Amino acid sequence: KKKKSESLNDQLTKEEAYDELIPLLSSDSETILQALSRYGAIVKREKKQNKKDSTSMKALTQITELCNICMMKFDDGGNIYDSTRLKMQAFLQQSDREASLKRKSEAQSNGNGKRPKTDDSSVKEKKQINWEYRGNEDNLIHGPYSTQQMVEWIRSGYFVGSMAVDVRIVADKTSNTKIGDANQKKEDTVNDLLDDLEDSDNEDSPKEKANEPTDNDWSRSDAVNFESYL
């Protein structure tokens, strides 16, 4: 049993060791050294009362073994005894973030550990996708707006339900025909959007225009998965 226990300890990661140590501390600010002193005092009292195999004794033994593992296997050194619950929890949170980033990176890699080759032209084209929408009130075409901007508006509750509008992708070759000042302030863009949405509440259907584009190019904004274009 002892050899099996030693083998399991050899496989223990720093995160697993901290996971076992954290519940043994009585508060966020108690250090491991203080916990050892606390459990030691309890064990002494229990020995006088002839208590054996107490919970405090098991906790004292577990802390001691885990600290030895941390000093031998990891970079804690003697500092492990100064660690508090908060400090160990902060380490685990950081470790979780790093592990999550690593998983995302691996998911984007192929079996050889290299990122899959992509067609640069298709990637570039996807990043350049812009959108325009047809106002419900003025029936005019507004845009172009980036896919990210459309996603943010949808998430904020615009362009859905009763406020849905006709949208379509702007082709690269025509994207510049409807672009206004490239340095237009974001505040003006948002105000333009809000004005159109406010007007849409007062109309049941868009006005007809003589030069209205064909409907074959348009889709309803609440039926488009904009995030799939990011």
Q: pLDDT by residue for the chain (230 residues), tens digit each?
A: 444 455 556 688 889 999 999 999 999 999 999 999 999 999 998 888 887 778 889 999 999 999 988 888 887 666 889 999 999 999 899 888 888 888 877 777 755 555 555 555 544 445 678 999 998 888 898 888 889 889 988 888 888 888 899 999 987 654 444 434 433 444 555 566 556 655 555 554 444 443 344 445 899 999 999 988 88
Gap between the Cα atoms of 143 and 189, Å rounded = 9
Say what the pLDDT of residue 35 is: 93
Which one, of 105, 110, 131, lies nearest residue 229 by Cα? 131
- Sheet with 141-146, strands from edge to edge, namely 141-146, 130-134, 166-170, 219-220
Which one, of 117, 207, 99, 88, lies nearest residue 80 by Cα? 88
8 token code pair: 């399991």
Say what the pLDDT of residue 61 is: 92
CB atoms within 10 A of CB 160: 16
